[in-house]
Amino acid sequence: MLRGPATITFWADDLNVAKDWYTEVLGVEPYFQKPGYYEFRFGDYQSELGIIDRKYAPAGEPGEPGGAIMHWHVDDIEASFRRLLDLGATVHLPVTEQGEGFVTASVVDPFGNVLGIMYNQHYLEVLAR
């Protein structure tokens, strides 16, 4: 039934600042925009990340980080984690060994969203196929 993530969405109070921040983090400009929304495509599978003006958030949407964490594969987790912190993110969960071939970490972006990163040997094996 589920075939893969289509678009991960994050909320931001200041949409243009969030767009600039994610442009810096991802190294690409948004490929799509409309009032209140920017969308990026990036990575090995051209994954989509949407940044939405928080005024469009559903009623009752929590204002602090929580919920599910989407982890994005990175080749160098320590360097990626440091770079996100240098760009203004804060530690959510530090770099943590999870078992053979898995290392995770997560940050809270400057807009209150949790951004997970992971070194995942199995991701590289699937990508190599």
| 85: Cβ contacts below 8 Å, ≥ 6 apart | 91, 107
At residue 3, the pLDDT reads 75
Averaged confidence pLDDT in the chain: 93
Note the maximum CA span of the chain. Answer: 44
Per-residue CA distances from 15 to 24, 33, 36, 37, 38 (Å)? 14, 11, 7, 8, 8
With a cut of 90, say whether residue 87 has pLDDT above it: yes
φ and ψ of 108, to 5 deg: -105, 120
**Residue whose pair of structure tokens reads 């994954």 in the numeric block:** 47
Q: Residue written as tokens 């990036």?
A: 42
Query: What's the confidence (pLDDT) of residue 14?
Result: 97
Which CATH number applies to 1-54?
3.10.180.10
Query: pLDDT tens across 18-49, in order?
Result: 999 999 999 999 999 999 999 999 999 999 99
In which residue ranges of the chain is CATH 3.10.180.10 found? 1-54, 69-129
CATH architecture of 69-129: Roll (3.10)
Contact 81, 73 (CB under 8 A): no
Contact present, 115 and 96 (Cβ < 8 Å) = no
Cross-strand partners of 33: 38
Q: How confident is the model at residue 2 (pLDDT cuts 50, 70, 90)?
A: low
